[in-house]
A and B are shown apart, each in its own frame.
Chain A
Amino acid sequence: MSHSLVLFTLIVMTLSLILLTIFLYLIVRKRKDYRWKQEVETYKQLYEPILFRHLAYGDEQITPPSSSAQHVAMMELLDHFLRVLANGHVKQRATALAETYFSNYLRQQLYHRRLGRRMNALFYIEDFGLRSLLHELEKMYEQKHVTMMEKRQLLKMFALFRHPHVYEYMKANDESFTQFDYRLILSRMDDKMFAKVVDHFFDWNEKIQYALIDMIGIMQKIAHVSFLRTLLQHEQSEYRIRALKALAEMAFPLETEQLDVHLRSQIWQERLMALRLCARVRKEELIEQIKELIKDPMFSVRSQAAEALLRMPNGLAMLEQIAQTSDDRYARDMALEWLERGRQYD
Chain B
Amino acid sequence: MIELAALFVFFFMIAVIVFYTFLLVVSFVQLRRMYELDEWEPYEEMLDVSYTKPVSILVPAYNEEAGIFATVRSLLSIEYPEYEIVVINDGSTDDTLERLKRDFDLVEMKRVIREQLKTKRVRAVYRSQKFSHLFVIDKENGGKADALNAGINFSSYPYVCSIDGDSVIERRAFLKVMKPIIDSDEEVIASGGSVRIANGCDIEKGEVIRIALSRQLLVVMQVIEYLRAFLMGRIGLSRHNLLLIVSGAFGVFSKQWVIRAGGYAHTVGEDMELVVRLHRLIKETDADKKIVYVPDPVCWTEAPESMTDLRKQRRRWHRGLFESLWLHRRMWFNPRYGSIGLVSMPYFLLIEFFGPVVELLGYILIVISLILGDIYIEFAILLFLVSVLYGSIFSMAAVLLEEWTVRKFSNVSDVVRLFFYSLTETLWYRPLTVLWRCEGIVDALLKRKGWGEMKRKGVSK
Contacts and interface: CB of A to CB of B under 8 A. Distances in A.
Interface of A: 1-2, 4-5, 8-9, 11-12, 15-16, 19, 22-23, 26-27, 30-31, 34, 114-117, 119-120, 123, 178-181, 183-184, 207, 218, 299, 303, 330, 333-334, 336-337, 340
14 contacts: A16-B393, A26-B400, A30-B403, A30-B415, A116-B33, A119-B41, A120-B37, A123-B38, A180-B51, A180-B184, A180-B185, A181-B183, A336-B112, A340-B109
B388 A12 contact: yes
Given A19-B397, A30-B412, A114 B110 contact: no
Nearest to A126: B41
B112 A334 contact: yes
A120 B51 contact: no
B291 to A, nearest CB: 17
Q: Which 4 interchain pairs have the tightest Cβ spacing? A: A116-B37, A178-B185, A123-B41, A218-B50
A26 B112 contact: no
B361 interface: no
Given A8-B382, A8-B385, A30-B415, A19 B112 contact: no
Contacts of B4: none
Nearest to B382: A5
B404 A116 contact: no
A333 B403 contact: no
Nearest to A31: B412
Contacts of A183: 51
Contacts of A31: 412
B32 A5 contact: no
Nearest to A19: B396
A116 B393 contact: no
B169 to A, nearest CB: 24
B33 A115 contact: yes
Instruction: Provide the main secondary structure of the chain A interface.
Output: helix
Nearest to B38: A120
Most buried by B among A8, A34, A181: A8
Interface string B407-439: 000101001100100000000000000000000
Given A27-B412, A115-B37, 8 more contacts: A5-B382, A26-B403, A119-B38, A123-B38, A123-B41, A330-B112, A334-B112, A336-B112
Contacts of A115: 33-34, 37
A9 B385 contact: yes
Contacts of B416: 27
Contacts of A180: 51, 182-185
Nearest to A330: B112
B45 interface: yes
Interface of B: 32-38, 41-42, 45, 50-51, 109-112, 114, 182-185, 187, 375, 378, 381-382, 385-386, 388-389, 393, 396-397, 400, 403-404, 410, 412, 415-416, 419
Given A12-B393, A19-B393, A178 B112 contact: no
B37 A119 contact: yes
Contacts of A9: 381, 385
Contact of A336 (B42, B110, B187, B404): B110
Nearest to A149: B42
Nearest to B50: A218
A26 B110 contact: no
Given A19-B393, A19-B397, A27-B412, A114 B36 contact: yes
B184 to A, nearest CB: 6
Given A2-B378, A12-B389, A114-B32, A333 B112 contact: yes
A175 to B, nearest CB: 12
Contacts of B388: 12
B36 A120 contact: yes
A342 B448 CA distance: 51
Contacts of B396: 16, 19, 23
B132 to A, nearest CB: 9
Contacts of B33: 114-116
B419 A23 contact: yes
Given A8-B382, A116-B33, A337-B110, A22 B38 contact: no
A29 to B, nearest CB: 9
Contacts of A218: 50
Nearest to A76: B38
Contacts of B412: 27, 30-31, 34
B37 A337 contact: no
A274 to B, nearest CB: 20
B389 A116 contact: no
Contacts of B393: 12, 15-16, 19
A299 B410 CA distance: 51
A341 to B, nearest CB: 9
Contacts of B42: 119
Contacts of A114: 32-33, 35-36
A119 B378 CA distance: 53
Contacts of A34: 410, 412
A178 B35 CA distance: 25
B137 to A, nearest CB: 15
Contacts of A179: 185
Contacts of A178: 183-185, 187
Given A8-B382, A123-B38, A340-B109, A22 B400 contact: yes
A8 B11 CA distance: 13
Contacts of B112: 299, 303, 330, 333-334, 336-337
Contact of B41 (A120, A333, A340): A120
Contacts of B32: 114
Nearest to A83: B44
Given A114-B36, A119-B38, A340-B109, A26 B415 contact: yes
